[in-house]
Amino acid sequence: MRAIRIDSAARWIALLAFVLIAVAPFLYVLSSSLKQSKVLFDYPPQWIPTSPYLGSYERLLTEYPFLRWVANTMLVASVVTAIKLLIDSMAAYALARMDFAGRRIVLALMLAAIMIPPALLIIPLFFLVRDAGLLDTYWALILPALANPVGVFILYAFIRGVPVELEEAARMDDASPWRIYRHVILPSIRPGLVIVASYVFLVQYVDFVWPLVATQSDSKLLVSTGLATLKPRTINVDWGLTSAASVLSMVPVTLAFLIFQRRLVGGSLAAGLKG
C-alpha cells in the first residue's frame, strides 16, 4: 500500500512539473503585459505586479488596429476551415469508397505534396498569385491554404473505418452517392471533422510567412503579421506592449478551444480507438 502511495505521489509531482513548464511562459508574458516596460528588467524581478499597469492594453486597442487584425485572422481562418471541411471530406469519400482509374496515383501525389517543405513553394506560389492579380487580397490568403491535403488523409482514415453495410443499406433505399455522403458518411466521421477543423483553424491562425509575403497594405494584416509591426527596427522595444498583444492574440484561440473542448477530446479518443 505504501509503495502504491509513493508511486501515485511521484506521478502527481511529475504531472505538476510538466504543467508548470507548460504554463510558466504564458504566466511570464501575462505578468509582463501588466507592467511598464521600464520595470521589466528590474532585479530582483517582480513576478506578481503589486499595481497592475493596463496602459499597454489601452495603447494596443487605441493606437493600433489590433481588432482589425483579429477580425482579418478570424475571417481567413474561418473561411479556410469551412471550405476545407467540405472539399477534404468529399475528396476523402471519393478516395476511400469510389473505385476509379488513377486513385492510387492521386493518393501518392497527395502524399508527395505533404512531404514538400512549404518554404520551397513560397516563390512559385507568389508568382502564381501575382499573375492572377490576387496579391494583397483576402483570396491570396485563402486559396493557397486550400491545397493542403493533410485533412484528406485524416478523413480518409475515418471513412475507411465506417462499416460498408451502412452505405449498402442506404443504397437499398435508392440513396444517391451525394445523399449517402451527407446522411451516412458525414455523421459517422464527425470526430474526424472536429479534428480537421481544429488543425486547419490553428494552422491558419498562427501562419506568418505566407501572409507576410502575400499582403502589403495595413488593412490586410493578420494577428501574426500585425504583431511583427509592433517591434521597431531600433533596440528600444516596448516589451510591455508586445506582451499585451501576445496575451490578447491568444484569447480567440483559447475561447474556441474551450467551446469545442468536449468535441475535440471526443474526436481524439475516437481517432485513437480507430487507430
Q: State pTM to two decimals.
A: 0.83
Residue 157 neighbours by CB under 8 Å, 6+ apart:
192, 274, 275
φ, ψ of residue 17 in degrees (nearest 5):
-65, -45
- The Cα–Cα gap between 231 and 242 comes to 8
Helix (H) or strand (E) holding 256: helix 239-259
Angle between helices 150-160 and 190-206 (to 10 degrees): 170
- The Cα–Cα gap between 136 and 251 comes to 26
What does each of the 275 residues of the chain score in pLDDT, given as a tens digit?
Answer: 566 677 777 788 888 888 888 888 888 888 888 887 777 777 777 777 778 888 888 888 888 899 999 999 999 999 999 999 999 999 999 998 888 888 889 888 888 888 888 888 899 999 999 999 999 899 999 999 998 899 999 999 899 888 888 888 888 888 888 898 888 888 888 888 988 998 899 999 989 999 999 988 888 899 989 888 877 654 677 788 888 888 999 888 888 777 776 666 655 555 444 44
- The Cα–Cα gap between 40 and 23 comes to 19
- The Cα–Cα gap between 104 and 107 comes to 5
Angle between helices 239-259 and 66-97 (to 10 degrees): 40
Helix (H) or strand (E) holding 43: none
All domains in the chain, ordered by first residue: 64-229 (1.10.3720.10)
- The Cα–Cα gap between 36 and 33 comes to 8
- The Cα–Cα gap between 71 and 226 comes to 12
Name the residue with cell 459517422: 188
